Structure 1
Amino acid sequence: MQIITVQDTFVDVIQDVEDGTVDQESFWVSRRSSEEAEQELFYINVAKEEDQVKFTNQEGVVFIQFPSKNRRRFKLQIGDESYDLQASQSWHKFDSVMSLASTTKKLIMGTIKGTYLVYDLRTQKIVKEVKGAHEANIEHIRVFPSQQVILTVGLDLQMKIWSLENDSQIPAQVLKGHTSEITSIEFIGNGRNYLTGSLDGAVNLWECGSGSLVYSFRRIDNLQDPVNCIATAKLPKPWSITEPLTDREFDTVGRELYVGYESGIIQSFDVGYHSQLRKRLVRFEGVAVTSMVISGKYLIAGYGNGHLLVWEQETIKIDVSLSPHRIAHLAVLDETEKRVKLLVTNGADLVLNVHIDVENGTQSITYMVGVPEVFTATSVSYNGSHVFVSDKSGVGVFQVAETATGSDKVIS
């Protein structure tokens, strides 16, 4: 798979020509086979002829703008190869962003300095700033299902619960228990319980009200295998138990936990019964499982070698080979029984919208472009209409739903 990058201001270039601000202008497009490979560089000339914007290139490269509501979808053709592109709606500069979460109204950001910020998507202003929320990087942020409370996870190994509804600088709860970096979070039900995975090899089950550790899951044959990612799904009935094992558990009965390890193993556990199951998924031995999501009856896993596998129980339904670099983030954008649209980050400069048709075994890829050069995603979030992708210099915004539920000002 090729890495395609486009000058981050190319939409502005097109707009300037379209508005008559300039008669003609140009922007660059590059292609390379890997992060280390030498890039091919092409210049696209933009001019207006008979009230139509025209794109030309002396090397035969074809660039097409599709008519659409937001006019940010394009096709690039280089020789016999064609690539679908979608440009960002906007780029917002923020310093040292490491983690993101979003609602339809707010974007929450965590920084390298341990600060978290709440940004109002409608007013486009920071409405809350908590400095020193953590003693080091805020690695993860999640919004509870109520949309009123967030969980922040720091490199200081602390997890903190905060209200989004007030200006308090004090967390409602502080939880500790892992001995190495926390890599993943998964809420159960309404969020009274949640799971965290860590490089210490444990997946911990927490109860929010008391802030207590309920149970710690470890793989029996290797207690220290680092955990990179987790996902949960419904277990098929009959369940091992019908009532929780403790009075600190809510909605854990009938939940299956998938744990992705550095060793390349995906191990299954019964959350409610506090037990390891027989199901174990291995495709690339020794290649890390780096990200996972659930879509209907499918488990979708990203790997350190750039492969994206769709599992149905213990069968691989489709194997999508992307750029040979770590798939760091996965998010489900849309899904039906047999199809799924995913946001995927795959090494430097690659943010992808991947459409997988599981029934027909096919996939198509749209490159998400219009972000700064040498872009490496630190976090992603999706609020039902817009995708937010951060690197350490700011946040890019992409509209992916046909009808946006958030404010139009998100994309200004």
Structure 2
Amino acid sequence: MKFHTVDIQADFLAVVNDALNGKIDEETIWVRVDGRSLRIAVKSGADGAGYRCVEDPAVTFAQVSARRFELALAPGAERVVLRPPKAYLFADADAGASINCVAVSAEHAVAVTGDSNGTLSSFSLDRDSVRLARRLRLADAHMSDVTAVLIFPSGSVALSAGLDYTIKIWSLADGSCPRTMRGAQKGRITAVSLVGARGRNFVSASLDGSACIWECGSAQCAHTFRRVRKPQDPVLSLAVQDYQPAAPAPEMSHSPEDSGLFFECAGKRLFCGHGSGTVTVWDLGRRTFAGEVQAAESGEADSLGGVNAIAVAGRESIVVGFEKKAVVRCFDLGACGAGDKISSRLRWEVAMGNAEGEQEIKKLEISGDTVVCLSTDEFVTLNISDGSANEYFVGYDSVLNDFSISGGNIFACGKEGLLLEY
């Protein structure tokens, strides 16, 4: 199925609701599909809102549920599913600040954001109000932009990474910072990921070519991974996969001194996306190399850029996105030879947006049988089996930077304090 470039009037849902409530008789909204601009007349009626394309009567637009609309450019043509926000959340962001990252725990009804002023904020998710109740605001949590945030399984502790090369752990109860991690990585921190259900360890990636396992209790770097063939190859992204080796191994360490620094690492693999277009794979329990996936072939590395995003789909496959072109690829994984070394096979590829312009895949995450994908210009879900687009997220008119999936909902953030719930 073809990938479409879709844009629609950001407040179109307000026009639809006005028609449903009889506040307007008829009003037009605009939509663009693959560069084609159309006007859709929304008309109030006894049986609800009616829709008509002003330019082309063969184009159909219909509401199929409270939060889904379908657009077809011709009779019998593929229907493009548009998904507007469930809510526009208001978080009283600092004036002019861009929300760079967001993490949400629906279980604990808490959201954490980091912005371009170095401020970390946490909010209570109140289902009776679209305005988030601020729990704490930590100005100057980092000396520059906050680039990543995570919420620990307890819901009472958060982790943040910043452009100041530091990673910090925060109490969401009182805003104290009991741990600061710095020094082990000499380049910008590009990604962080928790290891295990308790979160005693986490992994960080850096432009200096390293991926580090950290132990939270001691704030100590317990182990560092680097590519042997190219030790300085920048690590742009990472993901942790639950994987039980053919011959399960106990927790292992390289010396008695670090034996108490690893928790829930056995049976897990670490995938590191590099600037060269290579994905290295490591066994976290053994701290050993498990193979490489050539996400971009040698002739593609310059045009596609590095592996900017990774998501793991169970034990069988990974999905990767690139930093210079909005291209997403899914690889099936297998084991071959001694030591369960990784083998890979390309299952599908999707190219988004303008093939000539430089765009990036900002984030990928697996949710059920879909891949939620955020690029420079697009926010969509892709079918994990073949890469076809399931839904196009709409209803925003600013640049999106990050998203978080929790409790069956998707929370997205962006410039000018933008925070949405789908």
How far did 1:321 drift?
3.2
Separation (CA, whole Å) in 2 of partners of 1:247 and 1:388: 36
Query: Is residue 2:80 matched to residue 1:72?
Result: no
In structure 1, the residue matched to 2:83 is 86
1:2-17 correspondence to structure 2 within 5 Å: 2-17=4-19
- Tell me the alpha carbon deviations over residues 50-77 of structure 1, each in whole angstroms, 9 at most, x when there is no partner: 33311112222321111x3xx1200112
The residue type equivalent to 1:347 in the other structure is: T
Q: Which amino acid aligns with 1:351?
A: F
Which of 379, 397, 401 is 2:420 aligned to?
Answer: 397
For residues 274 and 369 of structure 1, the distance between their equivalents in structure 2, rounded to whole angstroms, comes to 42
* Mapping of residues 5-404 of structure 1, within 5 Å: 5-32=7-34, 39-60=35-56, 61-66=59-64, 68=65, 71-79=66-74, 80=77, 82-93=79-90, 94=93, 95-104=97-106, 105-122=109-126, 124-164=132-172, 166-168=173-175, 170-176=176-182, 177-189=184-196, 190-233=198-241, 234-239=243-248, 242-245=251-254, 246-285=259-298, 286=301, 287=304, 288-297=306-315, 298-304=317-323, 305-313=325-333, 314-323=344-353, 324=355, 325-334=359-368, 340-348=369-377, 350-356=378-384, 358=385, 361=386, 363-372=388-397, 375-399=398-422
| Secondary structure, aligned partner of 2:14 | helix
Q: Note the alpha carbon deviations across 1:209-257, whole angstroms, 9 max, x for none.
A: 1101111111011111111111122242214655444221112233221
C-alpha deviation, 1:111, in angstroms: 0.9
Q: Deviations over 1:24-56 (max 9, x none)?
A: 111111234xxxxxx432111111233331111
| Mapped partners of 1:63, 1:396: distance in 2 | 27
Aligned to 1:36: none
Provide the rounded CA distance (Å) in 2 between the counterparts of 1:376 and 1:150: 25
Which deviates further from its counterpart, 80-89 or 153-162? Answer: 80-89
1:92-123 CA distances to partner (integer Å, 9 max, x unpaired)?
Answer: 35342111001111111111111111121115
Deviation at 1:199, TM superposition (A): 0.9
Residue type of the partner of 1:42? L
Of 235-244 and 302-311, deviating more is 235-244
Deviation at 1:263, TM superposition (A): 0.8
Query: What SS does the aligned partner of 1:13 have?
Result: helix
For the structure 1 residues 282 and 8, does the alpha-carbon distance in structure 2 shift closer, same or farther, using more than 3 Å as the test?
A: closer
- Closer, same or farther: CA 89–278 of 1 in aligned 2, 3 Å: closer
SS at match of 1:371: coil
> SS at 1:85's partner residue?
strand
- Please, which runs of 5 or more residues in structure 1 have no aligned partner? 33-38, 335-339, 400-412
Scaled by the length of structure 1, the TM-score of the pair is 0.86
- What is the identity, as a one-letter code, of the residue corresponding to 2:38? F
For the aligned residues, what is the CA RMSD? 1.9
Alpha-carbon distance between aligned partners in 2 of 1:194 and 1:127, rounded to the nearest angstrom: 25
Bigger drift between 296-305 and 178-187 goes to 296-305
Identity of aligned residues (%): 24
Q: Distance in 1 between matches of 2:260 and 2:47?
A: 70
Provide closer, same or farther for how the CA distance between residues 207 and 19 of structure 1 changes in structure 2, counting only shifts above 3 A.
Answer: same
